[in-house]
Amino acid sequence: MLVAVAPKTGSGTVTPENSLSELAQLAETAGAIVVGRLIQSLPVPTKAYYIGKGKLAELLALRESTGYDVVIFDDELSPLQQRNLEDSLKVKVLDRAALILDVFARRANTREGQLQVELAQHQYLLPRLAGQWSHLERLGGGIGTRGPGESQLETDRRLIQRRIHQLKQQTEKVRKQRMLYRQRRRKSGIPIVSLVGYTNTGKSTLLNTLSQAGVASEDRLFTTLDPTTRRIVLPDKHIVLLSDTVGFIRKLPPTIISAFRATLEELTEASLLLHVVDLTSASAAEECQTVEDILTDLNLQDKPRLTALNKIDLLLDSNRSWSEESALEYLSDRDEAVRTDTVLISATRKWGLSNLLELIQRTLASG
C-alpha cells in the first residue's frame, strides 16, 4: 500500500499522483506488488503519524480488503512516525528513502557501489535504532536497573557507528583512487563528457549505442549505479571519454548523495555534461528541475552543458513508417523551442546520434 500527503494549497509542480506512480515503480523494482494507493490532503504531515487519525483508521480498514503487508510512505518518516505507524498498523512500514536504499542495494554490483550503499543504509538506520528495540522496555529508574533494551540499543549504536567509520575510511580510499585516475586522464588531454539525468531516461542505452559498452540497460529505475567510462570517436576523428553515472530522482535521501559523493565527483572533472531527458515522461519538466537542483548542490550549475531529448520514437504515430530523417524533420517542425544546445535523439533507434556527436564536437572545440 502506497501513501502520500498532498498540501491543500496544491503547491509544487509534481502532483501526488505522479509522485506515487514513481513510488510504485520503485516498489516494483524492489520486488513488491502494489495493491492500493492512499492520498490525504493536509497542510503538512502530522508529527505523530504523518497522516491524520481518520486516514490512519481508513488505512487500517483497507488491510482487510487488499491484504497488504507493507505500507510505503512517499516522504521520509521520522523515527517517531515510523514507530507509531508500525504499532498501529501491525505491518512493516517503509518510507521513500528506505525504498530507494533497498533498490540501490539490489543494483550495486561493484565493490565500490556496495560500499557506498552500505554506508548510506547505516547512516539512515542509526537515528532509527530505538524503534528496533521498543519491545524491550527499561526495568525502572535508578542505578543498576537499566533494562536489556537500552543496553542492547547502546551496543548496536556503537557497532553501527564503528561500521560507519570503517565504511567512510574505505570510501575515502576509493575517492583517492578515483582522484589518481582522474589525474591520469587529465594528463592524457582527452576530454570527458559525463551523462547526467533523471533515472530511467536512457543514459545507459545511449552509452551502449555510442560505444558498445555492454552496460546493463532496461526499463527500470536505477539499472546502473556504478560509473562506466568508454571511449567514443567524434566525426573529426578526435577521441572523447563518455562517462555514465547514477541517475537522479526526486526526494533523493541526503545519505545517498553523501555516500555517492566519491562517484559524483567524477562530474567535476567533466569537460561537458550531457543531460539526457526522457521526452515522453509526463513529469519531464519537474525531472529536469530535480537534476538542476542536484547539480547546484554539487556546485556544477555552471559546467558547460548540452541536452539530449531522448525517446522521440515513442512520440510518433506507430501506424506510419518513419525514417530517421522524416522523424527528426517532423519533430523539429513541431517543437520550435529546440535550442542550439539541444538535440532530438532516440538511443534505441540510433536516431539523431550523428547530430549529437557533431554538437558535442562543436561545443568542445569552442570551449
pLDDT in tens, 28-69: 988 899 999 999 999 889 999 999 999 999 999 999 999 999
CA separation for the pair 92, 25 (Å, rounded): 19
The angle that helices 96-107 and 111-125 make with each other, rounded to 10 degrees, is 160
pLDDT at 327: 82
Q: What class is the 2-103 domain?
A: alpha beta
User: pLDDT digit string (tens) for 182-227?
Assistant: 777 777 788 999 999 998 899 989 998 998 755 555 555 555 555 6
Residue 137 scores a pLDDT above 60? no
CA separation for the pair 115, 101 (Å, rounded): 12
Q: How many angstroms separate the Cα of 228 from the Cα of each of 75, 183, 225, 350?
A: 31, 17, 9, 20
pLDDT at 223: 55
302: cell is 555552471
SS3 state of residue 275: strand
CA separation for the pair 354, 226 (Å, rounded): 27
Q: Answer for the pair 162, 168: CB distance below 8 angstroms, yes or no.
A: no
Q: Answer for the pair 363, 357: CB distance below 8 angstroms, yes or no.
A: no
pLDDT at 332: 78
Cβ-count burial of 230 within 10 angstroms (0-12 exposed, 13-18 middle, 19+ buried)? middle
**Pairing between β-strand 239-244 and β-strand 228-233 as defined by DSSP bridges:** antiparallel
Q: Answer for the pair 310, 202: CB distance below 8 angstroms, yes or no.
A: yes
Name the pTM for this structure: 0.80
Residue 163 carries which DSSP code?
H
User: Considering the chain, what is the average pLDDT of its residues?
Assistant: 83
Q: Answer for the pair 228, 157: CB distance below 8 angstroms, yes or no.
A: no
CA separation for the pair 344, 353 (Å, rounded): 9
Angle (CA) 121 127 128, round 5°: 80
State phi, psi for 224 to the nearest 5 degrees.
-115, 120
Q: State the architecture of 190-366 in CATH terms.
A: 3-Layer(aba) Sandwich (3.40)
